[in-house]
Structure 1
C-alpha cells in the first residue's frame, strides 16, 4: 500500500477587524453672542460626547465583532460517533473546504486533509498516514454515473482476491437525504482493508476509497466522507 507523507495543510485563521481608529470630528466654529463674546460651551459639550456617547458606540462595535466568531464556532461545533476495534468513540469535527475541489467535509479531530493530485484529496489519520481516504468529486457534466460505476467496479476487481468483494453495511449510519445511488465495495487483504463508496449528489458524484489496517478507522473515514456537501 502506498504510504502517504503527512502534510499539515489546514490552516484555520480567525480574522478580527479592529475598529479602534480615532474619530475625526470637525471642530465646531465658536458661537458669538450679540456683544461679540465667544461662547465655548458647545466645544465642552462635544468633549463630553467624545468621552461618553462616541466611546460607548465604539465599545459596542468591538463587542459585536468579538462575539461573531464565537457564535460561528458554536454553530459549527459538531461530532461524529464511530466504531473502532469494538469501541464507540466520539470525535469532535470541524467543517473544512477541499484544498482544490468543490466540496466541504466535516473533519474529525486527529485527521488531516491535503491535496494528493489534481482531482483527488486525501484524508489521513494523524496516528498512521497509511490509514487514509481518497476523495474524488466528479461534476455531473463531466461523466455519467453508469460509466463511473463501471470504472469503479473494474478498479476494485483488479485488487480483489479470488472471492471478490462484498457490500459494506451502512445501515447504522443516517445518510444525508441528498445522497442517492449508493454503491459499496469492501475488500479484505491480509490484515488490510479497502473500502470504496460511490454515491450521487444533486450536482456531483462522490467516490471515496478508504485504506485501513489494524487501526480500524474505516467507520470514522466513511462517516466523514458522507458529510461531504
Structure 2
C-alpha cells in the first residue's frame, strides 16, 4: 500500500514538473502567439517607399523651372529701342542693330552677319491700308517670291509664334529653299498691325532670338 502511494505521488510530481516546463517555454516566446486567443501575431508590412517618386517629381519641377529661366534670359540684357521712322519700339538684344532702311520698313540685323536680318513694318489700325488677313496673305506672297516660288507653310505650333503681352492675334508662315530660310509673322495689337519677315539660313541659330524680339514690338 505504501509503495502504491509512493508511485502515485511520484507520478503526480512528474506531471507538475512537466506542466511547469511547458509554461516556462510559452512565457519565453510571448511574440509567437496572441495573448488573447492564441493566434499568431502578424507583423505589419513595410509601407511602400516614396523617396524615388518624390525625387523624380522634384527633378521634373527643377527641369521645368530651368527651362522657364532660360526663356526669360533671352531678353535679359535687351534694350528698348525706338524706331527712327515708325511709331514703335522693340527690345533689342546685344549683338543686333535696328536701322531704318526705307520709309515704312526697318531692319533688325545681326552685327556679325548683316545678311541675316528681320524686316519690321507697322501700320496704325485707324490708318491701315490692309486688314490683318490681307497683310498675312501678302506676306505669304513675299515668302514665295523670296524662295523662287516655294509654297509657304503656315505655322500652327504656338511655340514658334511671338507670344508677347498685348498681342491679340498672330499668324505665321515659313518657306525654305536653296536661297535660305524665310519666316514671317503678322501680329495685331490694340493700336497697330505689325509684320515681320526673317531672312536667314535654314539652320540659323538666330531664328529664336528674332522671334523673341518680334514679340516685344509695340
Q: Place the TM-score, normalised by the shorter chain, in its bin.
A: 0.5 to 0.7
Relative to structure 1, the CA distance from residue 155 to residue 104 in structure 2 (aligned partners, 3 Å threshold; closer, same or farther) is: same
C-alpha separation in 2, matches of 1:204 and 1:148: 12
Tell me the residue number matched to 1:42.
none
Q: Which of the numbers 86, 100, 103 marks the counterpart of 1:118?
A: 103
Task: Please list the CA deviations of residues 176-229 of structure 1 after superposition, one character each: whole Å capped at 9, or x if unmatched.
Answer: 242133111111122721001111111111000001124421111111011011
The answer to which structure has the higher helix fraction is 2
C-alpha separation in 2, matches of 1:174 and 1:145: 16
Structure 1 unaligned segments of length 5 or more: list them: 1-79, 83-87
C-alpha separation in 2, matches of 1:120 and 1:81: 31
Tell me the residue number matched to 2:159.
171
Structure 1 residue 125: Cα displacement: 0.4
Q: Which of the numbers 132, 138, 145 marks the counterpart of 2:132?
A: 145
Secondary structure of residue in 2 paired with 1:142: coil
C-alpha separation in 1, matches of 2:214 and 2:191: 16
Establish whether residue 98 from structure 1 lines up as the match of residue 83 from structure 2.
Answer: yes
Relative to structure 1, the CA distance from residue 186 to residue 173 in structure 2 (aligned partners, 3 Å threshold; closer, same or farther) is: closer
Q: Which of the numbers 205, 214, 223 marks the counterpart of 2:212?
A: 223
The answer to which structure has the higher strand fraction is 1
Structure 1 residue 148: Cα displacement: 1.6
Structure 1 residue 89: Cα displacement: 6.5
Q: CA RMSD in A?
A: 2.6
Of structures 1 and 2, the one scoring higher in RCO (CA 8 A, sep 6+) is 1
TM-score of the pair, normalised by structure 1: 0.56
C-alpha separation in 1, matches of 2:138 and 2:160: 28
C-alpha separation in 2, matches of 1:163 and 1:119: 26
Structure 1 residue 151: Cα displacement: 1.8
Task: Please list the CA deviations of residues 51-78 of structure 1 after superposition, one character each: whole Å capped at 9, or x if unmatched.
Answer: xxxxxxxxxxxxxxxxxxxxxxxxxxxx
Structure 1 residue 134: Cα displacement: 0.3
Relative to structure 1, the CA distance from residue 173 to residue 149 in structure 2 (aligned partners, 3 Å threshold; closer, same or farther) is: closer
Task: Please list the CA deviations of residues 27-47 of structure 1 after superposition, one character each: whole Å capped at 9, or x if unmatched.
Answer: xxxxxxxxxxxxxxxxxxxxx
Structure 2 unaligned segments of length 5 or more: list them: 1-68
Secondary structure of residue in 2 paired with 1:105: strand
Asked if the contact 1:211/1:218 (under 8 Å) is kept, the reply is no
Tell me the residue number matched to 2:197.
209
C-alpha separation in 2, matches of 1:99 and 1:192: 29
Asked if the contact 2:81/2:92 (under 8 Å) is kept, the reply is yes
How many residues align? The count is: 145
Secondary structure of residue in 1 paired with 2:153: coil
Runs of 4+ with >4 A deviation: 88-91, 160-163
Secondary structure of residue in 2 paired with 1:171: helix
Structure whose CA Rg is larger = 2
Tell me the residue number matched to 1:59.
none
